[in-house]
């Protein structure tokens, strides 16, 4: 017999498996990066400016592809050509997108059904994907901090819907748990492949 905790574990996902943590690593370490995949386009993360540039063919699909398939390149912070022909958008919006689409109704690992949460800032629902009850969830959690489980029962909605909201809001930094500190594993900076190549060439010539 599957316990409730086991059921939640089975219905969870790891940010490590998706583009979410690629972006978070860049933001955490103030790196500008290019994330690309042949046939799918690319994202440019300008962490030093808090902006991103979307050149993907389908951002929803891009956010659900296995992280291991992407090629990540560190861009020089002095490179002023990043996004010159585009208008950058706030990285927090990208983190909502990445968490929302990767979730598919699952709960982000490190979060719990028993978390008592408070929504500190509303997502921009005119520009971001949502579920039918996103506004109701946001209204409840911003005015009356409560547990994910209780919120689901009060609103009479599916677990999957509130899991998706909580996961997206956590990724975007819009929500906080009041009863505990959710697990936040350390995120190392992305390796500068160009610099690594130069070092290897120097070693080869020794």
Please state, rounded to an integer, the average pLDDT across all residues of the chain: 86
> 20: closest CA among 194, 176, 182, 173?
173
**pLDDT score recorded for residue 2:** 38
Greater pLDDT, 84 or 58: 58
- Domain range summary for the chain, segments of one domain joined by +: 4-196
- The vertex-13 CA angle with 165 and 7, nearest 5°, equals 90
Q: Is the pTM of this model over 0.75?
A: yes
pLDDT of residue 82: 59
* Closest by CA position to 71, among listed 200, 196, 195, 193: 193
Report pLDDT for 204. 42
Give the per-residue pLDDT at 202. Answer: 44
């Amino acid at each position: 017999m599957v316990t409730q905790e086991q059921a939640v574990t089975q219905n969870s996902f790891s940010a490590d498996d998706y583009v979410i943590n690629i972006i978070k690593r860049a933001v955490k370490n103030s790196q500008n990066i290019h994330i690309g995949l042949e046939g799918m386009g690319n994202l440019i993360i300008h962490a030093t400016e808090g902006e991103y540039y979307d050149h993907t063919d389908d951002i929803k699909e891009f956010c659900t592809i296995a992280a291991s398939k992407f090629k990540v390149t560190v861009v020089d912070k002095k490179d002023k050509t990043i996004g010159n022909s585009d208008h950058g958008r706030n990285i927090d919006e990208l983190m909502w997108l990445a968490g929302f689409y990767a979730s598919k109704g699952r709960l982000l690992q490190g979060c719990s059904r028993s978390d008592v949460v408070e929504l500190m800032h509303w997502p921009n629902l005119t520009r971001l994907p949502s579920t039918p009850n996103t506004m109701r969830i946001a209204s409840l959690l911003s005015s009356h901090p409560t547990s994910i489980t209780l919120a689901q029962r009060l609103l009479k909605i599916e677990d999957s819907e509130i899991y998706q909201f909580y996961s997206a809001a956590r990724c975007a930094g819009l929500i906080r748990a009041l009863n505990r500190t959710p697990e936040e594993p350390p995120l190392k900076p992305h390796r500068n492949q160009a610099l690594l190549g130069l070092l290897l060439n120097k070693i080869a010539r020794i």
